[in-house]
């Protein structure tokens, strides 16, 4: 019975395989684009292993090829600043040992966090985190290597619609969480803020600005406090 409980169910394995397939495809595109930009073949290998940042790698490769490595670093930090609240959300899941935290933080991606937080059981959360994290890390690096070998044959992921695979997967994962009214309010407020600021701010900042949607949680509290004060005064 223990073995059965510890084994991830078929649904999780199926989801991991599906998103890993998309990761291989997009990773192959990254490797091909890096080579097409004229960068040494070792660059995509090193970035995929040491950085493992998905969209930030695409942006960084373009800026490095344009001769602006400092901008690539700054842009990467801005795009991945969202990992700070992600890390707080899954801190108790990764483990207490420094080795687990070090490796676990490196494997942390949007998809890993989304898959993990949908699980209620702590033990299952931990297994999900490591299963999805290791699966995506290996599939991304395999895809990058494939892209380097194939050269420029893969092309732009947007041409095949692969750029929509990850957002679509994330939306499907967070839908159950949107049943909560407070969560829906914050998500909607954050989405509005991001959309409004997209034409004004550089790429990456509108997503960070969506965190301002959290202030929507305080509006109902203030209204309730004001109504209570009015009731007390009337009494």
Q: Assign 3-state DSSP to the chain and report helix, strand, coil percentages, each to 5.
A: 85, 0, 15
**CB count in 10 Å sphere of residue 54:** 21
The pTM score is 0.63
With a pLDDT cut of 90, the percent of the chain lying above it is 5
pLDDT, mean over the chain: 76
Crossing angle of helices 10-36 and 165-174, rounded to 10°: 150
Query: What pLDDT was estimated at residue 223?
Result: 52
Q: What is the mean pLDDT of residues 202-214?
A: 68
Query: What pLDDT was estimated at residue 142?
Result: 93
Q: Which residue has the higher pLDDT, 180 or 173?
A: 180
Query: What pLDDT was estimated at residue 136?
Result: 92
With a pLDDT cut of 70, the percent of the chain lying above it is 75
Long-range contacts of 116-123 (CB under 8 A, 24+ apart): 116/90, 117/89, 117/90, 117/177, 118/173, 118/176, 118/177, 122/92, 122/93
Query: What pLDDT was estimated at residue 180?
Result: 75
pLDDT at residue 155 greater than cutoff 90 = no
Query: What pLDDT was estimated at residue 170?
Result: 53
pLDDT at residue 6 greater than cutoff 60 = no
Among 142, 143, 82, CA closest to 112: 82
Among 210, 111, 105, 115, CA closest to 167: 111
DSSP state of 202: P
Query: What pLDDT was estimated at residue 135?
Result: 92
Rounded CA gap, 188 and 21, in Å? 30
Q: Which residue has the tokens 């070998």?
A: 149
CB-facing half-sphere around the CA of 116: CA atoms within 13 A: 27
Reported confidence tier of residue 25, pLDDT bands at 50, 70, 90: confident
Among 23, 58, 63, CA closest to 44: 58
Q: pLDDT tens digits for 182-200?
A: 778 888 888 888 888 878 8
């Amino acid at each position: 019975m223990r073995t059965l409980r510890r084994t991830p169910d078929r649904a999780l394995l199926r989801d991991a395989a599906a998103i890993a397939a998309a990761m291989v495809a997009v990773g192959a595109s990254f490797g091909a684009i890096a080579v097409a930009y004229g960068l040494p073949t070792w660059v995509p290998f090193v970035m995929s292993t040491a950085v493992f940042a998905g969209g930030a790698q695409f942006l960084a490769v373009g800026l490095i090829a344009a001769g602006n490595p400092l901008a690539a670093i700054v842009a990467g930090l801005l795009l991945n600043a969202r990992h700070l609240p992600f890390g707080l959300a899954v801190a108790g899941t990764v483990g207490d040992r420094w080795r687990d935290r070090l490796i676990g933080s490196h494997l942390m991606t949007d998809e890993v966090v989304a898959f993990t937080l949908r699980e209620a059981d702590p033990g299952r959360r931990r297994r999900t985190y490591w299963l999805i994290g290791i699966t995506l890390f290996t599939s991304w690096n395999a895809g990058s290597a494939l892209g380097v070998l194939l050269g420029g044959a893969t092309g732009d992921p947007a041409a095949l619609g692969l750029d929509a695979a990850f957002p679509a997967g994330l939306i499907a994962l967070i839908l159950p969480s949107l049943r909560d009214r407070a969560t829906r309010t914050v998500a909607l407020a954050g989405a509005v803020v991001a959309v409004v600021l997209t034409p004004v701010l550089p790429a990456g900042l509108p997503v960070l600005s969506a965190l301002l949607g959290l202030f929507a949680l305080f509006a109902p509290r203030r209204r309730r406090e004001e109504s209570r004060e009015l009731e007390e005064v009337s009494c």
